[in-house]
Amino acid sequence: MYSYFAYLFVQCKIYPLRSIPMKIVLAYSGGLDTTIIIPWLKENYAGCEVICMAANVGQDSELELVELVKSGNGGLEERAYRSGADKFYMEDIQEEFVTDFIFPMLKMSARYENYLLGTAISRPVIAKRLVEIALRENADSVCHGCTGKGNDQVRFELAIKALAPELDIIAPWRIWNIRSREEAIEYAEARNLPLNVTRENNYSKDMNLWHLSHEGLDLEDLQNEPIYNKDGFLELGVSPENAPAVPAYITIGFDKGVPISLNGAGLNGVELIKKLNQIGGENGIGLLDIVENRLVGIKSRGVYETPGGTILYFAHEALEAICLDRETAHYKAMLSVKYADVVYNGQWYTPLREALDAFVNKTQERVTGEVRLKLYKGNIIKAGLRSPYSLYDEDTASFGEVGEYNVKDAEGFINIFGLPIKSRAILDKEQENNND
């Protein structure tokens, strides 16, 4: 037997499931949305088994665990079971996240309207593990907590369709009658569910190793300045005005476009980003307040903290400037816009993304070297570059007549390069005279 609510969904085709879901794997974060989804699934799909899959993509889960224990709500696993889950998985996918998703994006220098894609790039790796758990458990459905107005619903579902088209997808925010986060809190309180949010701190946040996003509440009014200096608002660092008055110097080493060391010490990707988050955050690096164009057609304001990512993008592009020839660099810049669209729009598992990766990997074969940076009150300043593949030659670049460059050659080059411009000007002059 199943509930009347589920009966309506299936019989009236309000929600196009292929069958009544009996085993559902939920992408679980422990936040407000996914906490209330567990009992909602139980109430509306009677007899179903709900399996929670929490993915560790570097969202500082240890600190979260301390805060939850202090509040009496327990850690993620305990909260999932207290909310009605039948089974729980905690999957550490940080290394895969960095190696297979963040670093390819970094090599392409992909930005979406200056946004470094922190949330967008995490969705395909989380969806991949969600599908793997669902197939392992022989589940018939997967579920996510993305809102019906956001980009994430597209990102998750495109990834699921690409990896396991046979799975049904349940998106409660497109089905239920809950229409706001305030109503979601009321739903949770009525069922005595463990929460780590209140009506006062109810920002919509997404944290992972790459960034932390803030949306909602006072940020929805564009006239409001983000309260960077309010205790607890920034979590990965401080505002520029609260950063030290003494600059910090760092040196980042790259091999074929991939960061491999910090201040001479070799680090894996996860360790390196965490260390840069710490150093960058302490120096007020990586704050961004933008109104972005969502895929679904809505303009949305977000405040982002991306200290380590901002440093890596700056350093990588500084190194590319001396390692790539002009034509490759300019063409790569054009493709980086498309790559950002692919990531932002949830098209990771597509032939286009694979083709773009093949291109960028070729461009990165000689992007090797070290970049020295000065970090000071929110600013990143170049303090030195070196690469065995540098195309910069000091003698040639000098204002003196040394090296391979002969200034006399410039005259012929200008004449040839400027011939179309000169020819057009002569023709225009002749036509002007004839008209007179």
Amino acid of residue 344: Y
Amino acid of residue 378: G
Give residues with Cβ within 8 angstroms of 421, minimum separation 6.
Answer: none
Sheet holding 204-207, edge to edge: 204-207, 212-215, 299-305, 287-293
Whole-angstrom distance, CA of residue 24 vs CA of residue 12: 21
Give residues with Cβ within 8 angstroms of 192, minimum separation 6.
Answer: none
Whole-angstrom distance, CA of residue 118 vs CA of residue 116: 6
Query: Could you list the active site residues?
Result: 33, 123, 152, 204
Is residue 49 a contact partner of residue 200, using CB atoms and an 8 Å limit?
no
Buried b (16+ CB within 10 A) or exposed e, 204-226: bbbbbbbbbbbbebebeeeeeeb
Strands 299-305 and 265-266: what pairing? unpaired
Q: What angle in degrees, to the nearest 10, is found between the helix axes of 4-11 and 32-44?
A: 90
Residue written as token pair 């207290």: 82
CA angle 201, 206, 207 (to 5 degrees): 105
- For the purposes of burial, counting CB atoms within 10 Å of the CB of 397, is it exposed (0-12), middle (13-18) or buried (19 or more)? exposed
**Alpha carbon 201 to chain centroid distance?**
23
Q: Which two tokens stand for residue 1?
A: 């037997």
Is residue 118 a contact partner of residue 325, using CB atoms and an 8 Å limit?
no
Residue written as token pair 């000098």: 398
Give residues with Cβ within 8 angstroms of 369, minimum separation 6.
Answer: 253, 254, 319, 322, 323, 385, 386, 387, 388, 389, 390
